[in-house]
């Protein structure tokens, strides 16, 4: 029940936040960055990147990656992409603040929603999740091993059972602290026709409605037909929504907003939200008129290449090629000669037909002869390292300009990606982004790279 919803919250608050929009992928976390000030007593960290007074050191990056994945040994390519995304999000968020993109009500609502998710996540991670962790599952197994023969096969069942127990216990404990009223019984309610605003549970001054439950079903099971799910699943989703409300109230009462790790997660979320807004700000500067102007200025990029429908006969020696020519001169059909003499049995079974071929896809000597050949004409033997080819052109399509309407979506995306890359480059120059010469990302792990550089 908590697998997808809680993973989404943990993923967001923990710091890796994936944004796929018009080809942009951003991963960032404020906690990965340190400040130049206050590090003098720690020696000189190996700096991978520096943006103004913020530095990303080898150890910072390794700890960040390990926090998110449980393992710091990601590939050098992935690590390089991660560093680039961290820097880009840092720069875009700063640019968004300069452009006053943080002043809108929409942004404030998004920031408050992120804040609530982070507080919920912090409370669940500290007070609920340990009860259904791997460690808890192992403890359960040790205590019940006489009843469980094959732990490896029963692991998922144990985790699911512990998770259900932990959620129920947390709701029961927290319900004693907060005013919780269940106003509707799901077992008696027809959710397929129920009013979305119908209140199922009231927690203090907030409510959980049928609409909330449908959204939870969509997030977890990608369906808004909540009534199609088993009743037990519906109840688990409702418990999950109630636990989130209770966790938020409890986190605020406990003052978790002041916890250093929570503050970092909130700063990270704000950076991410601002970077996304700045991304949209850049993209919106590039419109269909720009795409049309580019299309008109670069027509050769949008031409369909010449295409030929080709049949071939492949033989090993010059003598075999001459034998093929002799049979063709007598008027024997090309298809029949291909079936009996071509060593390329795949095309031979089709009478030598290899289908439509675009310019640039054939070996140079074959392509040169093919595109110089008239339709329905047969070539002389063409010598290649793979043998001798005799080809016939059955049909051809001349190069044509693709209509603007056909290429517009991909072209607009391409121009927007180019605008994002150009703005990223401009901001790097403006903020004096510095890169370490040591390049620790070449090594299997960041820490090993740092040691090697020393």
Within-domain flag for 432: no
pLDDT digits (tens, 9 = 90+) for 227-250: 889 988 999 999 999 999 999 999
Within-domain flag for 250: no
Q: Look at residue 119 in the predicted model and tell me its pLDDT.
A: 96
Q: Are residues 267 and 364 in the same domain?
A: no
Q: Are residues 144 and 29 in the same domain?
A: yes
Within-domain flag for 434: no
Looking up residue 337, the CATH number of its domain turns out to be 3.10.50.40
Q: Look at residue 336 in the predicted model and tell me its pLDDT.
A: 96
The total number of structural domains in the chain stands at 2
Within-domain flag for 272: yes
Q: Are residues 45 and 137 in the same domain?
A: yes
Give the pLDDT of the chain (454 residues) as one tens digit per residue: 222 333 333 333 333 222 323 333 333 445 567 665 444 444 556 778 888 878 888 777 777 777 666 666 778 888 888 888 889 999 999 999 999 999 999 999 999 999 999 999 999 999 999 988 888 877 877 777 766 554 555 677 778 888 889 999 999 999 999 999 999 888 888 888 889 999 999 999 899 999 999 999 998 888 878 888 998 899 999 999 999 999 999 999 999 999 998 998 899 899 999 999 999 999 999 999 999 999 999 999 999 888 999 999 999 999 999 999 999 999 999 999 999 999 999 999 999 999 999 888 889 999 999 999 998 999 999 999 999 999 999 999 888 999 999 999 999 999 999 999 999 999 999 988 876 644 443 333 333 333 333 3
Q: Are residues 312 and 276 in the same domain?
A: no
pLDDT digits (tens, 9 = 90+) for 369-415: 999 999 899 999 999 999 999 999 999 988 899 999 999 999 999 99
Q: Are residues 270 and 393 in the same domain?
A: no
Q: 3-class secondary structure for the chain? A: CCHHHHHHHHHHHHCCCCCCECCECCCCCHHHCEECCCCHHHCCCCEEEEECCEEEEHHHHHHHHHHHHCCCCCCHHHHHHHHHHHHHHHHHHHHHHHCCCCCCHHHHHHHHHHHHHHHHHHHHHHHCHHHHCHHHHHHHHHHCCCCCCCHHHHHHHHHHHHHHHHHHHHHHHHHHHCCEEECCCHHHCCCCCCCCCCEEEEECCEEEEHHHHHHHHHHHHCCCCHHHCCHHHHHHHHHHHHHHHHHHHHHHHHCHHHCHHHHHHHHHHHHHHHHHHHHHHHHCCCCHHHHHHHHHHCHHHHEECCEEEEEEEEECCHHHHHHHHHHHHCCCCHHHHHHHHCCCHHHHCCCCEEEEEECCCCCHHHHHHHHHCCCCCECCCEEECCEEEEEEEEEEECCEECCHHHHHHHHHHHHHHHHHHHHHHHHHHHCCCEECCCCHHHCCCHHHHHHHHC
Q: Look at residue 168 in the predicted model and tell me its pLDDT.
A: 93
Domain span holding position 372: 306-398
């Amino acid at each position: 029940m908590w697998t997808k919803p809680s993973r989404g919250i943990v993923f967001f608050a923990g710091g890796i936040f994936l944004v796929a929009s018009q080809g942009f992928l951003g991963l960032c976390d404020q906690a990965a960055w340190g400040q130049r000030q206050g590090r003098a007593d720690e020696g000189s960290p190996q700096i991978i990147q520096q943006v103004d007074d913020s530095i990303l050191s080898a150890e910072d990056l390794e700890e960040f990656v390990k926090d998110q994945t449980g393992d710091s040994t990601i590939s050098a390519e992935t690590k390089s992409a991660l560093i680039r995304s961290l820097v880009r999000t840092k720069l875009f968020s700063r640019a968004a603040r300069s452009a006053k993109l943080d002043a809108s009500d929409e942004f404030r609502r998004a920031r408050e929603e992120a804040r609530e998710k982070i507080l919920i996540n912090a409370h669940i991670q500290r007070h609920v999740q340990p009860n259904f962790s791997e460690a808890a599952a192992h403890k359960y197994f040790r205590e019940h091993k006489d009843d469980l023969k094959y732990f490896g096969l029963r692991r998922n069942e144990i985790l699911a059972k512990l998770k259900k127990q932990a959620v129920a216990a947390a709701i029961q404990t927290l319900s004693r602290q907060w005013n919780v009223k269940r106003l509707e019984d799901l077992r008696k309610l027809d959710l397929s026709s129920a009013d979305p605003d119908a209140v199922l549970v009231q927690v203090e001054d907030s409510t959980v409605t049928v609409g909330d439950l449908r959204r939870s079903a969509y997030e977890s099971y990608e369906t808004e037909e909540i009534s199609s799910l088993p009743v037990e699943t519906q109840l688990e989703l409702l418990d999950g929504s109630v636990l989130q409300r209770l966790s938020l109230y409890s986190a605020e009462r406990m003052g978790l907003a002041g916890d250093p790790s929570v503050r970092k997660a909130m700063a990270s979320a704000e950076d991410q939200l601002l970077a996304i807004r700045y991304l949209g700000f850049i993209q919106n500067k590039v419109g269909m008129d720009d795409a049309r102007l580019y299309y008109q200025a670069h027509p050769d990029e949008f031409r369909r290449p010449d295409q030929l429908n080709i049949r071939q006969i492949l033989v090993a020696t010059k003598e075999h090629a001459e034998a093929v020519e002799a049979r063709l001169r007598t008027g024997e059909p090309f298809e029949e000669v291909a079936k009996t003499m071509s060593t390329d049995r795949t095309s031979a079974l089709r009478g030598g037909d290899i289908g439509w071929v675009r310019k640039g896809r054939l070996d140079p000597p074959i392509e040169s002869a093919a595109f110089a050949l008239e339709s329905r004409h047969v070539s002389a033997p063409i010598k290649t390292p793979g043998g001798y080819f005799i080809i016939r052109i059955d049909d051809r399509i001349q190069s044509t300009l693709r209509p603007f309407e056909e290429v517009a979506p991909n072209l607009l995306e391409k121009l927007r990606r180019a605008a994002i890359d150009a703005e990223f480059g401009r901001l790097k120059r403006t903020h004096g982004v510095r890169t370490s010469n040591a390049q620790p990302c070449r090594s299997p792990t960041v820490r090993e790279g740092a040691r090697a550089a020393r």
